[in-house]
Chain A
């Protein structure tokens, strides 16, 4: 990497933060802070973010507050070779936004088909859980999109990332994080 790029990259990594655009300027924030501050989404629509928040929370409690939709939005809005998504190591073909759009559309469509036209975010917790379990087992009726178990696996991995993959997540489980390159702030 060029030196200037490395400095910027290291700065972000050290803070455990990512670059979000606020008022036309790039600032480094954790996804949770970006969510809390209402940072505008760049790629996901409000409906997609609502679906992703609800899915994330169903898969891993705490994912919504940890900023899963801001994390995904930030990651799919930049170049693929800078992405930090699990999709990258599971051979999803860039642009990654295409995968997420297709996956979220498939979830909402399956939800609407099974629940009188209600999108996933509008379901009760019990209904959400039931649909996710069907997606996991490839039993969601009317599913149209990337393979349902793969969607389950990727979105579950994203939710695990933001809840358990952070320094805060390790602390919550009582596991020493032990970084070689010590972040200056928990993320």
Chain B
């Protein structure tokens, strides 16, 4: 039986898709959200690193290539809520300098919008879903805006202990802005600081989609359809409009969902894969890709972790997986001499024993009795700080289709990613400064968390710009080529800055969705 045509079909139920679903459903549109994985509920979010892996992808359909292959398994989402079901909810925003890097430094490209265009949406998102922090304190680095609706979160010794060290090198730390409840907010309880955020917060103190925009969307009538794997976006015969999507249901049966508007919110790598796989005789290189830029300019963040053991009980099991303190003190693009790019600094993270972020991995060189001894010492005195660095967009870093196909006959994606020579400079500069901070903080042992340069937070691939000559979408996520086809999420970032991306994903999605709702007739007509 054919599916009833809807006004909008949204591919993906994570941070960006949930915002589009809420805004459009509240505007009276009939909305279907297609999600490839299961329909998770809060009660599925077990406080365990074992069970937390179940809400992450199991072998996504991507081949990982290049000198610095993108590692997405830890951060990726699988199922309703997407990656935002288990994110850390650090909510730093991009700063004004991120939007004009070309103008100011003749590198990369400018965004087609300024910070001031996005700022009202940061404020709206904070009011919509709840942000805790101290906006006034942040204003030493950014223009003034609204206060956050909740005061900062509690801090613990594992965060406070670093403050003296940061002060000694001239880094001002302020309460971290986080998408978590320091107090009850809109009927959702306050955080209990047990540090299980990264496997999903079952009480809804953390602003995951289920308890925020996706919940709002469902209340407004949106249908969320799990186990629905979209494989193609469909177009009319002329190729001038999209008409819906093809997908496969849980029984692996082909389905078509017709719609007046299609929003791709499936992830920065999956959206280009879908666009490229939707080629027709009118769009031989894939949809929205006549300029060949679909899949290009993917970017990641890299972190320089400084790890230390203090001679006291720092209670590292207390707090949240997000940060207690943050700083934009090194956010200037040339803040580190001899290196280029922004750095965003965090301190105060609750730690678990196992999993990728567990403190057993603080010394991966240790095994056997030496590891057992380290675990005992670390349980009492281990803490770490992090500095996220910015990678500039490079057209060679890209997503393309591979020859092999998945179970639905759709070509796998290939993610090709290599860091340029600038990245190690910034990475190393942040390590050096981190060790200076640890020393001044009085750490008994300190070391840099080196190894392969990490690849965190995939962005780009469908970047925004002023026109079709240099980008795939406009600042609302609307493709230049097909007006009723939108792309949402970090894929539309023109550059990546160094801030955790989800707050900006929410803000840009809200801006795009409101524009779509306000211009519905012209777009969907």
Residue numbers of A with Cβ under 8 A of B are 1, 6, 9-10, 13, 16, 58-62, 80-86, 88-94, 129, 132-133, 136, 153, 156-157, 160-161, 164-165, 169-170, 173-181, 183
CB <8 Å contact, A180 and B201: yes
**Which residue in chain A gives the minimum CB-CB distance to B364?**
A153
**B49 in contact with A175 (CB, 8 Å):** no
Contact of A60 among B47, B58, B71, B371 (CB under 8 A): B371
B contact residues around A93 at 8 Å (CB): 59
Q: Which of B213-267 contact A (CB under 8 A)?
A: none
Binding site for A on B (CB under 8 A): 37-41, 43-51, 53-54, 56-60, 64, 71-74, 78, 192, 194-196, 201-203, 317, 352-356, 358, 360-361, 364-365, 367-369, 371-372, 375-376, 379-380
Instruction: List residues of chain B with CB within 8 A of the CB of A157.
Output: 354-356, 360-361
**Among candidates B44, B72, B352, residue contacting A6 with C-beta atoms closer than 8 Å:** B44
Q: Is the CB of B51 within 8 A of A81?
A: no
Residue contacts A-B, CB under 8 angstroms, 19 given: A9-B44, A10-B44, A60-B368, A85-B53, A88-B53, A90-B356, A133-B367, A157-B355, A160-B360, A161-B355, A174-B379, A176-B317, A178-B195, A179-B47, A180-B45, A180-B196, A180-B203, A181-B43, A181-B47
A62 nearest CB across to chain B (Å): 8
Complex Cα gap A176–B193 (Å): 12
Q: Which of A153, A160, A175, A180 contacts B379 (CB 8 A)?
A: A175
A84 to B49, CA, bound (A): 9
- Asked if B194 and A180 sit within 8 Å, CB to CB, the answer is yes
Residues of B within 8 A of A84 (CB): 50-51, 53-54
A-B pair count, CB < 8 Å, reads 145
Q: Could you say which residues of chain A place their CB within 8 Å of the CB of B49?
A: 161, 165
- Closest A residue to B201 by beta carbon equals A180
Asked whether, in the complex, the Cβ of B353 is within 8 Å of the Cβ of A86, the reply is no
**Contact, CB under 8 Å: B353 / A179:** no
Q: What residues on A are CB-neighbors of B196 within 8 Å? A: 178-180
Chain B residue with the shortest CB-CB distance to A128: B368
Q: Which residues of B sit under 8 angstroms from A1, Cβ to Cβ?
A: 38-41, 44
Is the beta-carbon distance between A10 and B368 smaller than 8 angstroms?
A: no
Contacts A60-B371, A61-B369 given; indicate if A175 touches B353 (C-beta within 8 A).
Answer: yes
In contact, B50 and A161 (Cβ under 8 angstroms): yes
